[in-house]
Amino acid sequence: MKMNRRIGILSLAVGILAAGMVGAPGPARADVVWDHWKQADSLQASGNSKAAVPHWIYLADYYASAGDWENAALFSGKLDKYFDDIGDYDQAIRYYEQENQYWVNAGKDWGAVKLQRADQIRTTVELYREENSETIVQERTSPDGTRLAKFEPAYGTYLGMYSEQDPKVGNTFTKMQSVYGKKHAIYLAYAHWGQGFPSTYAKRAKDAGGALQIAWEPDNGLDPVTDGAYLRSWAKEAKAAGIPIFLRFAGEMNGAWVKWHGNPAQYIAKFRMLHDVFAADAPNVAMVWSPGDVPANDIDPYYPGDAYVDWVGVSLYIEPYENGDSSLPSMLATSNVERLTRLYNTYADRKPLMLSETGVPHYSHSAGEDYTEWAKLNLQRLYEIMPYKYPRLKAITYFNVDQQMNNAKNDYSLSTSSDIQGYYSKLIANPYLLSEVKDGAKPADHVGYVPIDAKHQSFTKQTRIIPFIKIPQVYIGKVEYLLNGRVIASQTSLPYGIDFKAGEVPEGSVLQLRIMNTSGQQVALRTFGISSQVSVNINGAVQQFEQAPVIVNGSTFTPLRAIFEAMGAKVDYDASTRSVTATKGSTTVKLTLDQRTVYVNGKSLELEEPARLVNGYTLAPARFVGETFGGNVNWDGATRTVSITSK
């Protein structure tokens, strides 16, 4: 369960300040370096930090070249603070990252807080869109050349919740759909070593058609965790539950706040032992290794190994104030998206990931402040951006609790605010968020998501575009969408996103997002290439081609062989004459590439445009291809779709 486990900014800052108390060059070194140091100190003391900047740059570079990493970090720290204070965020980010690197070179981890601040002030504008091709989607969501992990969906993200303290749901999981509009796939329960298997929770999860995540905690440390009658009985009951179980044993082991922290070798041995027991006695159990996202530097030593881990999880929370302490600097600029990056980059190519626990508060009890709009911003990031940006993130379990004045003193509850409850229900209606755990699960609509980048610019029929926007000022005033230089939509309220039909987006289009802060000032403008492609339906089924249809001189060209064969024709190609012969029943068609004249049962007819090779594939006018063997051909300009219906 969520605890006070964050590394406080204040404590890190104190450590950095102490480390910065490095002696200046003594009298014997009264040279140009000392002169720069004295001048910088004098200018800063007089309130003219701007004039001190060249001196700090000189000193940071000098000490870095000399291998004096602590002094190099100290002066980099003066630079990043100055640029942050004046709002020159690009320069501030540069020096925050430089300062962190110098602390790393010095063997210190004191730069972690500086990287956190760099992420807070980094402007991010990314776009994600719907993709109807499972092949394209699964290129990003499935492991290369390996089978899916136990209970892993082919694509999509399992929807999970800890609801025990939700007054509208509690442990009656069958209420989930009536309260939030959708059945959830995973329900979270807590268990303790030495106590019985949580059979009541398992039964209620089964009644709701769901799986169970069990956070199994050895409250007295790892020594009592042994293979014996207790463990075997527990495993037997887990198997008898008859549902998928995600077993999160001794989570957040990288944090000093738990009793099972401090001995990675012992932890690994215990985890491996449990894996072997459940593999033998309860194959319906998937082992989840789940650290906290902080402290990041202590995560990897606890990894039990690929052979013993089915899923990699993480406890990841954001909050207005570190540990609910409103006397510390605001954490509102921290996004949940970046918090996953390090763990994802380390483990996603090996295991599917889940957010074992996560939450976004809409109220801070310690400060007595409402954060509904901030919560909405980050709930969209949690349920739309993170699954699209991190396609191997295959499960999200929400910690649905109002902590009152306990722990971080935040209200993470979804149902204590009708506004948040309705907003959450709207977000999770997306079929990409899955309601049932099963091997190879997929969204009911077979729609996935990809980033709009050089590889994924083109879409067919229609698409929805979801932006990930993060600005140093946190709150966004307005988002404008410009297509080929013209403003086509603007949004001032969450959630952000826009729908396009293919006919609205010609090939080679340019989509821009203009971002304003709440003062109406433009703070970002990002440009993306985007195009639509012609799609083909044959008897209602969408066709997938290695070579997409194209527009040539105003005519729609479609792959000839693929469509002819889909309509039941036999196709032969003679490379020596560059001619194609297709036969179906009593009809024979012959054509030659780049010639307008074609022959149907020996009778000639003229095409407006001849068939031609495109990237090694024969393409011909769509109407000719569709009607040759008796099909009816229709064109939908709004979605740029050719529909062929066999007679």
Residue 475, Cβ neighbours under 10 Å: how many?
12
- Write out 201-230 in H/E/C secondary structure: HHHHHHHCCCEEEEEEECCCCCCCCCCCHH
Tokens of 277: 């027991």
Q: With 0-12 CB in 10 A as exposed, 13-18 as middle and 19+ as buried, what is 607?
A: middle
Peptide bond into 304 cis (omega under 30): no
Q: How far apart are CA 15 and CA 353, in angstroms?
A: 33
Tokens of 511: 């989509």
CATH 3.30.310.220 fits domain 449-532:
no
Listed residue (476, 478, 448, 457) closest to 528, CA to CA:
457
Q: How far is CA 571 from the centre of its chain?
A: 44
Which residue do the tokens 């039909």 mark? Answer: 501
Which helix (H) or strand (E) segment holds residue 30: the answer is none
Handedness of CA 505, 506, 507, 510 (dihedral sign): negative
- One of 3.90.1170, 3.30.70, 1.25.40, 3.40.50 is the CATH number of 31-122, namely 1.25.40
Task: Name the residue type at position 486.
Answer: R
pLDDT of residue 14: 39
| Strand pairing class (486-491; 476-483) | antiparallel
> Which position among 70, 152, 319, 357 bears the catalytic label?
357
Tokens of 192: 């303790």
Which helix (H) or strand (E) segment holds residue 175: the answer is none
Quick: pLDDT tens for 160-211. Answer: 999 999 999 999 999 999 999 999 999 999 999 999 999 999 999 999 999 9
Which residue do the tokens 């995600």 mark? Answer: 246
Question: Which SS3 state, helix, strand or coil, does residue 626 take?
Answer: helix
Distances (CA, A) of 9 to 158, 259, 321, 331: 33, 24, 10, 9
Measure the N-to-C terminal CA separation of the chain; round to a whole number of Å: 63
Q: For 74, what's the count of Cα atoms within 13 Å in the CB-facing half-sphere?
A: 20
CATH 3.40.50.970 fits domain 534-646:
no
Listed residue (381, 371, 383, 380) closest to 411, CA to CA:
371
The answer to whether residues 420 and 414 touch, using CB atoms and an 8 Å cutoff, is: yes
Strand-pair partners of 480: 490, 514
Which helix (H) or strand (E) segment holds residue 161: the answer is strand 157-162
| Strand pairing class (603-606; 124-131) | unpaired
Q: How far apart are CA 389 and CA 348, in angstroms?
A: 12
Listed residue (447, 292, 310, 311) closest to 384, CA to CA:
447
pLDDT of residue 3: 46
| Strand pairing class (522-533; 535-538) | unpaired
Task: Name the residue type at position 178.
Answer: S
Listed residue (256, 294, 251, 254) closest to 271, CA to CA:
251
pLDDT of residue 129: 98
Which residue do the tokens 């977000």 mark? Answer: 427
pLDDT of residue 639: 94
Q: How far apart are CA 572 and CA 549, in angstroms?
A: 20
150-187 burial, b at 16+ Cβ within 10 Å, e below that, comes to bbbbbbbbbbbbbbbbbebbeeebeebeebbebbbbbb
Quick: pLDDT tens for 554-592. Answer: 888 899 898 998 888 999 999 999 999 999 999 999 999
Residue 507, Cβ neighbours under 10 Å: how many?
13
CATH 3.20.20.80 fits domain 154-434:
yes
Question: Which SS3 state, helix, strand or coil, does residue 617 take?
Answer: strand
Handedness of CA 108, 109, 113, 116 (dihedral sign): positive
The answer to whether residues 536 and 545 touch, using CB atoms and an 8 Å cutoff, is: yes
Question: Which SS3 state, helix, strand or coil, does residue 235 take?
Answer: helix
pLDDT-flagged residues of the chain (< 50): 1-21, 26-28, 30
Which helix (H) or strand (E) segment holds residue 316: the answer is strand 311-317
pLDDT of residue 515: 98
The answer to whether residues 304 and 271 touch, using CB atoms and an 8 Å cutoff, is: yes
Q: How far apart are CA 530 and CA 598, in angstroms?
A: 36
Distances (CA, A) of 96 to 34, 69, 621: 24, 14, 58
pLDDT of residue 318: 96
Listed residue (590, 594, 596) closest to 574, CA to CA:
590
Q: How far apart are CA 173 and CA 164, in angstroms?
A: 9
Q: How far apart are CA 411 and CA 271, in angstroms?
A: 33
Domain borders along the chain are: 31-122, 154-434, 449-532, 534-646
DSSP string, 468-509: EEE-TT-SEEEEEEEETTEEEEEE-SSSP-EEEEGGGS-TTE
- Does the annotation mark 252 as catalytic? yes
Distances (CA, A) of 342 to 97, 314, 389, 644: 15, 11, 13, 48
Question: Which residues 6+ apart lie within 8 Å of 182 measured at CB?
Answer: 159, 176, 425, 428, 429, 433, 435
Handedness of CA 43, 45, 48, 53 (dihedral sign): positive
pLDDT of residue 29: 53
> Which position among 70, 99, 126, 252 bears the catalytic label?
252
pLDDT of residue 548: 85
